[in-house]
Amino acid sequence: MLKAKILFVGPCESGKTVLANFLTESSDITEYNPTQGVRILEFENPHVTSNAKGTGCEFELWDCGGDPKFESCWPALMKDSHGVVIIFNADLPSHLKEIEMWYSCFVQQQFLQDAQCLLIAHHKPGSGSDKGHLTLSPPLSKLKLVHSNLEDDPEDIRLEFIKYLKSIINSVSESRDREEMSIIT
Protein backbone atom coordinates (compact mmCIF):
# COMPACT_ATOMS: atom_id res chain seq x y z
CA MET A 1 0.00 0.00 0.00
CA LEU A 2 1.35 3.40 -0.97
CA LYS A 3 1.56 6.14 1.63
CA ALA A 4 1.70 9.88 0.93
CA LYS A 5 2.30 12.81 3.22
CA ILE A 6 0.48 16.05 2.34
CA LEU A 7 1.04 19.35 4.18
CA PHE A 8 -1.71 21.94 4.63
CA VAL A 9 0.04 25.27 5.16
CA GLY A 10 -0.82 28.94 4.99
CA PRO A 11 -1.49 32.07 7.02
CA CYS A 12 -3.35 32.08 10.34
CA GLU A 13 -7.14 31.93 10.12
CA SER A 14 -7.23 30.88 6.49
CA GLY A 15 -9.40 27.79 7.02
CA LYS A 16 -6.79 25.00 6.92
CA THR A 17 -8.30 22.98 9.77
CA VAL A 18 -11.89 23.35 8.55
CA LEU A 19 -10.86 22.17 5.07
CA ALA A 20 -8.71 19.35 6.48
CA ASN A 21 -11.64 18.08 8.54
CA PHE A 22 -14.04 18.35 5.62
CA LEU A 23 -11.76 16.66 3.09
CA THR A 24 -10.85 13.79 5.42
CA GLU A 25 -14.43 13.51 6.69
CA SER A 26 -13.30 14.15 10.25
CA SER A 27 -15.19 16.03 12.93
CA ASP A 28 -16.61 19.50 12.41
CA ILE A 29 -15.20 22.47 14.27
CA THR A 30 -17.67 25.02 15.50
CA GLU A 31 -15.35 27.68 16.90
CA TYR A 32 -11.95 29.01 15.89
CA ASN A 33 -9.07 27.46 17.79
CA PRO A 34 -5.59 28.07 16.27
CA THR A 35 -3.65 24.90 15.48
CA GLN A 36 -0.66 24.62 17.79
CA GLY A 37 2.25 23.26 15.75
CA VAL A 38 0.70 20.47 13.71
CA ARG A 39 -2.26 18.11 13.69
CA ILE A 40 -1.92 14.86 11.72
CA LEU A 41 -4.97 13.25 10.12
CA GLU A 42 -4.61 9.77 8.64
CA PHE A 43 -7.14 8.70 6.04
CA GLU A 44 -7.82 6.62 2.96
CA ASN A 45 -9.82 7.76 -0.03
CA PRO A 46 -11.75 5.07 -1.93
CA HIS A 47 -11.53 7.15 -5.13
CA VAL A 48 -7.71 7.10 -5.15
CA THR A 49 -5.81 3.91 -5.96
CA SER A 50 -2.16 3.37 -6.82
CA ASN A 51 -2.56 1.14 -9.87
CA ALA A 52 -4.94 -0.71 -12.19
CA LYS A 53 -5.38 -3.45 -9.59
CA GLY A 54 -6.98 -0.92 -7.28
CA THR A 55 -4.37 -1.10 -4.54
CA GLY A 56 -5.41 1.33 -1.83
CA CYS A 57 -3.48 4.35 -0.63
CA GLU A 58 -2.99 5.83 2.80
CA PHE A 59 -2.57 9.53 3.34
CA GLU A 60 -1.22 11.60 6.17
CA LEU A 61 -2.57 15.12 6.08
CA TRP A 62 -0.44 17.40 8.22
CA ASP A 63 -2.53 20.42 9.22
CA CYS A 64 0.23 22.91 10.09
CA GLY A 65 -0.35 25.91 12.36
CA GLY A 66 0.04 29.19 10.51
CA ASP A 67 1.65 31.15 13.34
CA PRO A 68 5.28 32.18 12.55
CA LYS A 69 6.24 31.18 16.10
CA PHE A 70 6.27 27.58 14.81
CA GLU A 71 8.81 28.36 12.07
CA SER A 72 11.55 26.47 13.93
CA CYS A 73 9.42 23.30 13.55
CA TRP A 74 8.92 23.66 9.79
CA PRO A 75 11.97 21.63 8.67
CA ALA A 76 10.70 18.65 10.69
CA LEU A 77 7.19 19.05 9.23
CA MET A 78 8.53 19.21 5.68
CA LYS A 79 10.65 16.06 5.96
CA ASP A 80 9.51 13.38 3.51
CA SER A 81 6.45 15.31 2.33
CA HIS A 82 5.03 14.44 -1.08
CA GLY A 83 2.79 17.45 -1.57
CA VAL A 84 1.90 20.88 -0.23
CA VAL A 85 -1.51 22.54 -0.22
CA ILE A 86 -1.29 26.29 0.44
CA ILE A 87 -4.57 27.61 1.80
CA PHE A 88 -5.35 31.30 2.16
CA ASN A 89 -8.33 33.51 2.84
CA ALA A 90 -9.08 35.09 -0.53
CA ASP A 91 -10.83 37.99 1.20
CA LEU A 92 -7.69 39.19 3.00
CA PRO A 93 -5.19 41.05 0.78
CA SER A 94 -2.39 40.40 3.29
CA HIS A 95 -2.74 36.66 2.65
CA LEU A 96 -1.84 37.12 -1.04
CA LYS A 97 1.54 38.49 0.04
CA GLU A 98 2.04 35.88 2.76
CA ILE A 99 1.48 32.88 0.49
CA GLU A 100 4.62 33.80 -1.46
CA MET A 101 6.64 33.08 1.71
CA TRP A 102 4.79 29.76 2.25
CA TYR A 103 5.51 28.77 -1.35
CA SER A 104 9.18 29.67 -1.03
CA CYS A 105 9.65 27.76 2.25
CA PHE A 106 7.52 24.70 1.65
CA VAL A 107 7.75 24.14 -2.11
CA GLN A 108 10.85 25.82 -3.59
CA GLN A 109 13.26 25.14 -0.72
CA GLN A 110 12.09 21.51 -0.60
CA PHE A 111 12.64 21.14 -4.37
CA LEU A 112 9.06 20.01 -4.91
CA GLN A 113 7.61 20.31 -8.40
CA ASP A 114 4.81 22.81 -8.97
CA ALA A 115 2.53 19.84 -9.77
CA GLN A 116 2.99 18.72 -6.16
CA CYS A 117 1.49 21.99 -4.94
CA LEU A 118 -2.12 23.13 -4.85
CA LEU A 119 -3.35 26.63 -3.99
CA ILE A 120 -6.76 26.91 -2.35
CA ALA A 121 -8.46 30.31 -2.10
CA HIS A 122 -10.81 29.57 0.78
CA HIS A 123 -13.95 31.65 1.16
CA LYS A 124 -15.37 31.66 4.66
CA PRO A 125 -19.13 31.45 5.22
CA GLY A 126 -20.86 34.77 4.59
CA SER A 127 -17.87 36.26 2.76
CA GLY A 128 -19.73 36.63 -0.51
CA SER A 129 -17.43 34.13 -2.25
CA ASP A 130 -16.17 36.33 -5.08
CA LYS A 131 -14.38 33.92 -7.39
CA GLY A 132 -13.04 36.76 -9.46
CA HIS A 133 -9.51 36.86 -10.81
CA LEU A 134 -6.82 36.92 -8.13
CA THR A 135 -3.57 38.63 -9.03
CA LEU A 136 -0.83 36.20 -8.05
CA SER A 137 2.91 36.79 -8.25
CA PRO A 138 4.76 35.03 -11.13
CA PRO A 139 5.88 31.90 -9.25
CA LEU A 140 2.39 31.41 -7.80
CA SER A 141 0.55 32.07 -11.06
CA LYS A 142 1.96 28.78 -12.44
CA LEU A 143 0.25 26.74 -9.71
CA LYS A 144 -3.18 25.14 -9.87
CA LEU A 145 -5.59 27.46 -8.04
CA VAL A 146 -8.98 26.31 -6.83
CA HIS A 147 -11.61 28.21 -4.87
CA SER A 148 -13.40 26.62 -1.95
CA ASN A 149 -16.67 27.57 -0.36
CA LEU A 150 -18.05 24.90 1.92
CA GLU A 151 -21.44 26.63 2.07
CA ASP A 152 -22.15 27.02 -1.64
CA ASP A 153 -20.28 24.23 -3.43
CA PRO A 154 -18.55 21.78 -1.05
CA GLU A 155 -18.34 18.97 -3.60
CA ASP A 156 -16.28 21.12 -6.00
CA ILE A 157 -13.37 21.31 -3.58
CA ARG A 158 -13.70 17.61 -2.70
CA LEU A 159 -13.43 16.65 -6.41
CA GLU A 160 -10.43 18.96 -6.94
CA PHE A 161 -8.74 17.49 -3.87
CA ILE A 162 -9.29 13.93 -5.17
CA LYS A 163 -7.66 14.93 -8.49
CA TYR A 164 -4.74 16.38 -6.53
CA LEU A 165 -4.39 13.20 -4.41
CA LYS A 166 -4.37 11.09 -7.59
CA SER A 167 -1.55 13.19 -9.06
CA ILE A 168 0.46 12.87 -5.82
CA ILE A 169 -0.01 9.09 -5.75
CA ASN A 170 1.08 8.87 -9.40
CA SER A 171 4.20 10.84 -8.53
CA VAL A 172 4.95 8.64 -5.49
CA SER A 173 4.34 5.49 -7.54
CA GLU A 174 6.62 6.65 -10.39
CA SER A 175 9.32 7.58 -7.91
CA ARG A 176 9.09 4.17 -6.26
CA ASP A 177 9.22 2.44 -9.67
CA ARG A 178 12.37 4.42 -10.62
CA GLU A 179 13.95 3.50 -7.29
CA GLU A 180 13.17 -0.19 -7.81
CA MET A 181 14.57 -0.11 -11.35
CA SER A 182 17.79 1.51 -10.13
CA ILE A 183 18.22 -1.34 -7.63
CA ILE A 184 17.62 -3.97 -10.31
CA THR A 185 20.05 -2.47 -12.85
| Predicted local confidence at residue 130, as pLDDT | 58
Around Cβ 2, how many Cβ atoms within 10 Å? 19
Percent of the chain's residues with pLDDT above 90: 59
pLDDT class of 52 with cuts at 50, 70, 90: low
User: What length is written for the chain?
Assistant: 185
> What is the phi-psi region of residue 163: left when phi exceeds 0, alpha when psi lies from -120 to 50, beta otherwise?
alpha
**Dihedrals φ, ψ of 5, to 5°?**
-110, 120
Give me the architecture of the 2-184 domain, per CATH. 3-Layer(aba) Sandwich (3.40)
Domain ranges of the chain: 2-184
The whole-number pLDDT of residue 53 equals: 57
Tens digits of residue pLDDT in 5-37? 999 999 999 999 999 999 998 876 666 788 888
